[in-house]
Amino acid sequence: MLDLSTPKGPFDIALPYGLSVTVKPLTTAGMAAAQAAARRAVEAIERQARERTEAGLAQDGLPHLFAEGERDGFYQAQLIRELAVRHVASWTGVKLGGGPAPPTPDNIAAVMNLYPVGERFFQDFTLRQVLLNAAKNGSGPSAAGTFSRAEGPSTAGPAATTACPAPAASLEPTGGSALP
């Protein structure tokens, strides 16, 4: 059974390799902040690559974001990292030096870089928000009004007009007028 209610307090997410994280609930503001930080990370890499190219230096050590798929993948990885760093409150199943690892931003980022862990975290953490937004957007008005080229073509035809069944109004007073 899928529960679409929004959690009011911290909740647990089971992850691969026996990991479990306790997260603070996702809010619209939290998602917007994480998205903005992920965009800034992509832009910083692109800016460094551009500056190195202009200076005639090698791109060593920088992710290659030339292809759209690579850029999107890097953005997704940064978004997962930002969401986790901002929302993971505690965890179990992560060890460092023989003991439990504290959930510091660096440790959280390292764990989320593990492919199945980061992907599963993102899917489970954002699922409720995605489903709630999809349900609300299906019946809501267009963000730009009744039609927007950005949202695709309108599938509805124009509304049919019919003659009004009421008689036309007259400016002449009638005998049934309330005026003396």
> What is the reported pLDDT for 128?
75
What's the pLDDT tens digit per position in 90-104? 999 999 998 999 999
Question: Which residue from 24, 32, 22 is spatially nearest to 6, judged by alpha carbons?
Answer: 24
Q: How does the average pLDDT of the chain come out, rounded?
A: 83
Whole-prediction pTM: 0.69
Altogether, the residues listed in the chain come to a count of 180
pLDDT score of 171 more than 60: yes
Distance from C-alpha of 156 to C-alpha of 141, rounded to nearest angstrom:
13
For the cut 60, the answer to whether the pLDDT of residue 62 exceeds it is yes
> Which whole number is the average pLDDT over 42-49?
91
pLDDT at 115 over 80: yes
CA distance 33 to 47: 21
pLDDT tens-place string over residues 4-39: 667 789 999 999 999 999 999 998 899 999 999 999
Nearest-angstrom CA–CA distance, 28 and 39: 16
Spatial separation of the C-alpha atoms in residues 83 and 38, rounded to whole Å: 9
Q: For residue 36, give the H/E element and its range.
A: helix 28-54
The residues spanned by each domain of the chain are: 28-127
- Is the pLDDT higher at 163 or at 95? 95
The residues, ordered by sequence, that sit 6+ positions from 16 with a Cβ below 8 Å of its Cβ are 114, 116, 117, 120
pLDDT at 87: 96
Contact 87/26 with Cβ under 8 angstroms? yes
180 contacts: CB under 8 Å, gap ≥ 6 = none
pLDDT tens-digit readout, 130-148: 776 666 655 555 555 555 5
Share of the chain above pLDDT 70, in %: 72
Nearest to 88 by CA among 104, 100, 72: 104
What are the phi and psi torsion angles at 88 (to 5°)? -75, 120
